[in-house]
Amino acid sequence: MTAIAPAIELDPAAVDELGRSFRGQVLRPVDPTYDEHRRIWNGSISRFPALIARCAGVGDVRAAIRFARQTGLAVAVRGGGHSFPGLSVCNDGIVIDLSSMKGIRVDPETRTARVQAGAQLADLDRETQEFGLAVPAGIVSHTGVAGLTLGGGIGWLMRKHGLTIDQLLAVDLVTADGQFVKASATENADLFWGLRGGGGNFGIVTEFEFRLNPVGPILLAGPIYWRMEDSPEVLRFYREWIADAPDELTTIVFHRTAPALPSVPRDIRGKRVVIVGCCYAGPLEDGEAAVQPLRRFGSPLLDLCGPMPFLSLQAMLDQSFLHGWQYYVRSCDVAELTDQVIDITADHALRMSSPQTTFPIFQQGGAVARVAEDETAFNGRRAGHSINVAAITETADGFDEEREWARTLWSALEPHQTSVYVNFLMDEGEDRIRKAYGAKKYDRLKTLKRRYDPDNFFHLNQNIPPG
Ligand X SMILES: Cc1cc2nc3c(=O)[nH]c(=O)nc-3n(C[C@H](O)[C@H](O)[C@H](O)COP(=O)(O)OP(=O)(O)OC[C@H]3O[C@@H](n4cnc5c(N)ncnc54)[C@H](O)[C@@H]3O)c2cc1C
Task: For ligand X, give the closer residue by CB, 300 or 386.
Answer: 386
d(CA 117, CA 188) in angstroms, rounded, equals 20
Task: For ligand X, give the closer residue by CB, 144 or 300.
Answer: 144
Least separation in angstroms between residue 280's CB and ligand X is 18
The Cβ of residue 94 has, within 10 Å, a number of other Cβ atoms equal to 25
Residue 378 binds ligand X, judged by CB under 6 A:
no
- From residue 199, alpha-carbon distances to 165, 196, 282, 459 in Å are 11, 8, 31, 11
d(CA 21, CA 24) in angstroms, rounded, equals 9
d(CA 22, CA 67) in angstroms, rounded, equals 12
Position among 128, 143, 167, 393 found at the interface with ligand X (CB under 6 A): 143
Task: For ligand X, give the closer residue by CB, 275 or 301.
Answer: 275
Residues 202 to 241 in contact with ligand X, rule: CB under 6 A = 204-205
Binding mask 415-434 for ligand X (x = CB under 6 A): --------x-----------
Query: DSSP 3-state assignment of 259?
Result: coil
Helices (H), 197-338: 231-243, 284-296, 310-315
Q: Which stretch binds ligand X (CB under 6 A): 146-154, 229-237, 307-315, 412-420?
A: 146-154
Q: Which stretch binds ligand X (CB under 6 A): 24-32, 71-79, 239-247, 427-435?
A: 71-79
Q: Which stretch binds ligand X (CB under 6 A): 2-10, 143-151, 180-188, 210-218?
A: 143-151
Taking CB atoms, the residue at the shortest distance from ligand X is 147
Task: For ligand X, give the closer residue by CB, 344 or 464.
Answer: 464
Handedness of CA 208, 212, 218, 219 (dihedral sign): negative
Least separation in angstroms between residue 99's CB and ligand X is 8
Task: For ligand X, give the closer residue by CB, 199 or 365.
Answer: 199
Q: Which stretch binds ligand X (CB under 6 A): 142-150, 226-234, 344-352, 427-435?
A: 142-150
Residue 386 binds ligand X, judged by CB under 6 A:
no
Position among 140, 316, 368, 448 found at the interface with ligand X (CB under 6 A): 140
Residue 78 binds ligand X, judged by CB under 6 A:
yes
Least separation in angstroms between residue 201's CB and ligand X is 8
Binding mask 99-138 for ligand X (x = CB under 6 A): ------------------x--------------------x
Position among 18, 26, 27, 41 found at the interface with ligand X (CB under 6 A): 41
Binding mask 149-168 for ligand X (x = CB under 6 A): -xxxxxx-------------
d(CA 366, CA 382) in angstroms, rounded, equals 10
Considering only CA atoms, give the Rg of the chain. 22
Handedness of CA 207, 23, 27, 105 (dihedral sign): negative
Position among 6, 197, 198, 200 found at the interface with ligand X (CB under 6 A): 200
Position among 128, 331, 419, 461 found at the interface with ligand X (CB under 6 A): 461
Residues 319 to 338 in contact with ligand X, rule: CB under 6 A = 321
- Residues engaged in binding ligand X (CB under 6 A): 41, 77-84, 87-88, 98, 117, 138-140, 143-144, 146-148, 150-155, 199-200, 204-205, 321, 423, 461
